[in-house]
Amino acid sequence: GNVLMWIRNKDFRAFERASQAAKSMGTHVIALHVISPGDYKSHGRGARRIDFMMRNVKELRSELKEKNIPLVVRTITPRKTVPKEIISFCDEFNITKIYANIEYEVDELRRDAVVVHLARESGKAAFFVHDCIIVPPGMLLTKEGKPYSVYGPWFKKWVETVNENDNLLETSEDPEANDESVRKDKSLHSLFEEEIPSEVEGYECADAEKMAQLWPAGYHSARESLGRFLEGKKGKEADDIFQSSKVKEKKAAVENYPEGRNRPDVDGTSRLSPYLAAGVISPREVVQKARKMNKGSISQGGKENGFSNWISEVAWRDFYAHVIVAWPRVVMGRAYNLAMESVCWEYEEDQVKAWKEGNTGYPIVDAAMRQMRETGFMHNRCRMITAMFLVKDLMVDWKNEVGEAYFMQHLMDADFASNNGGWQWSASTGTDPQPYFRIFNPFSQSEKSAQSYSDPDGAYIKRWVPELKSLSGKALHDPFHKLDKASFKKLGYPEPIVDHNEARKRALRRFKTPGEK
Ligand code: FAD
């Protein structure tokens, strides 16, 4: 029989493990991608991310065609019929083995359990492999055999495990399938010719053209971003949008990463997240490359440099994937820390609107929210600042359709585990969270963060909040308090929508005693 390579939401590459296994069966390989609007809806996926996915399907299709693997696309709705339809597809094309990459969210695991069952019933076999993170969930346990909830010891174990198991970072060239007989097989040949949709109804992307410039699809684009970050290779013109401050010397960003990762005004991070989230490039490949450039070392054991520091950030992806597997309640709208669920929330329509649109009167928050709306990306430090502002200053429940869901809608790298992990961290409800009493001051955050200055010259603020372009020094970070009334008024910039000191006291009180006002 033939073999199905089922390409899901996180593996838009000729993915190694499944395709390798499939190849070893010595049969024809057929790749299938399912458009499942019901899943998009229930996961709150945004049009940008769906559009990026469809662009990647197209790229992957031509890549696979070269190897004589047809990639076909089917729209299946309602979503609960996906398993049954997969089996019918297999029957239609004489497929007896199904390979796919495990997705760790609850609905997806349930779906796959049904697929395994139906496959078995109809004399087929379904194989699910770990391919979207580096260390499979469940592999790292404490001495008591429990999953880790704190990143530090988890990461130590992660490093040990990766160092001890060479296969975890192994990437293999995708198979030289080139099985020309597929084309000669009449029933399969037509699959190469099928039209594939370029968009999904209801998910038309309003700024598709701009997004395609900023985030071109395909493995080669991901490799270019990696080369720009690790080797200082020239990026594309559209990259300039991420560089607000002038750069003095042109080195590879990785060399400055320990500082650059806290500086939204410089293009100091890899911006690989959309590619990693969609699986256009493998996390194994990027870590392996960084390790090689770091003379074979993953972690410096305390003495961090850009490479090891960066690898430890890539590991956060694994950590949050492990968290959703160990505590699936977080996938079902619950806080990791259940005690924090009864915190008393507020919801002021106007304030929420101001947050979404970047009109809060807090320059760094506004710059960041506008950056996300314009580019589909937000710097990590700013994600923490804006998320914490919504939760602690506006006291809005991030689990309703506003916080986490709003990021899912707008981020090009939107990924449930990492996004939820980031929100739980900022909201002090997560596994290894920011303690509730450590509340960022959004005015001084832009001037100075824990490690260094976030936006020392305010170049990032000026770039995204042009109303403040004429300002400098402290006024740029806090115009309302630092300017006289008349000068402030002239700016046409909003007054702060809440008083941070008051809001801080309210948050401290409510987080200290969940349930009380
Ligand atoms: P780099 O600094 O170059 O890091 C390399 C890679 O490591 C990233 O591409 C990413 O895959 C991974 N990574 C880095 N930091 C983290 C982290 N804290 N958690 C998980 N993975 C990390 N990341 C997403 O991929 N998707 C999301 O939906 C998402 N939502 C977030 C929401 C909030 C509230 C917060 C605080 C963080 C969120 N992050 C998310 C994590 C992080 O902000 C982004 O991964 C990072 O900013 C992407 O930029 P980069 O590729 O240049 O990262």
> Structural domains in the chain?
1-132 (3.40.50.620), 133-171+218-326 (1.25.40.80), 331-512 (1.10.579.10)
Ligand 1 pocket, residue 422 CB under 6 Å: yes
Q: Residue 446: its pLDDT value, please?
A: 75
**Catalytic residue (choose from 6, 423, 425, 464):** 423
Q: Residue 22: its pLDDT value, please?
A: 64
Centroid of ligand 1 to alpha carbon of 225 (angstroms)? 15
Please answer whether residues 5 and 69 qualify as being in contact, where contact means their C-beta atoms are separated by less than 8 angstroms.
yes
270 annotated as a binding-site residue: yes
Nearest CA owner, ligand 1 atom 14: 313
Centroid of ligand 1 to alpha carbon of 380 (angstroms)? 6
Q: Which atom of ligand 1 is nearest to the CA of 423?
A: 34
Q: Which atom of ligand 1 is nearest to the CA of 386?
A: 34
Cα separation of 123 and 114, whole Å? 14
Residue 180 CA, distance from chain mean position = 37
Q: Which are the contacts of 126, defined by CB distance < 8 A and separation ≥ 6?
A: 97, 98, 99, 100, 112, 115, 116, 119, 120
222 annotated as a binding-site residue: no
Q: Residue 450: its pLDDT value, please?
A: 46
| ipTM over the 0.95 cut-off | yes
Residue 230: which of 197, 250, 251, 252 has the closest Cα?
A: 252
Reply yes or no: is the peptide bond before residue 466 cis, omega within 30 of 0: no
291 annotated as a binding-site residue: no
| Cβ neighbours of 197 (radius 10 Å) | 12
Please answer whether residues 225 and 275 qualify as being in contact, where contact means their C-beta atoms are separated by less than 8 angstroms.
yes
Q: Which SS3 state, helix, strand or coil, does residue 295 take?
A: coil
Place of tokens 């089917």: 74
Ligand 1 pocket, residue 411 CB under 6 Å: yes
Q: Residue 448: its pLDDT value, please?
A: 63
172 annotated as a binding-site residue: no
pLDDT by residue, tens only, the chain of 517 residues:
899 999 999 989 876 665 666 666 657 889 999 999 999 999 999 999 999 999 999 999 998 888 888 999 999 999 999 999 999 999 999 999 999 999 999 999 999 999 999 999 999 999 998 889 999 999 999 999 999 999 999 999 999 999 999 889 987 655 556 677 777 788 888 999 999 999 999 999 999 999 999 999 999 999 999 999 999 999 899 999 999 998 776 789 999 999 889 999 999 999 999 999 999 999 999 999 999 999 999 986 667 799 999 999 999 999 999 999 999 999 999 999 999 999 999 999 999 999 999 999 999 999 999 999 999 999 999 999 999 999 999 999 999 778 999 999 999 999 999 999 999 999 999 998 888 888 888 887 777 654 456 888 899 999 999 999 999 988 999 999 999 999 999 999 999 999 999 999 999 999 999 998 8
Please answer whether residues 417 and 104 qualify as being in contact, where contact means their C-beta atoms are separated by less than 8 angstroms.
yes
Ligand 1 pocket, residue 316 CB under 6 Å: yes
Ligand 1 pocket, residue 313 CB under 6 Å: yes
Q: Residue 514: its pLDDT value, please?
A: 92
Q: Which two tokens stand for residue 391?
A: 């939760």
Centroid of ligand 1 to alpha carbon of 383 (angstroms)? 9
Centroid of ligand 1 to alpha carbon of 415 (angstroms)? 9
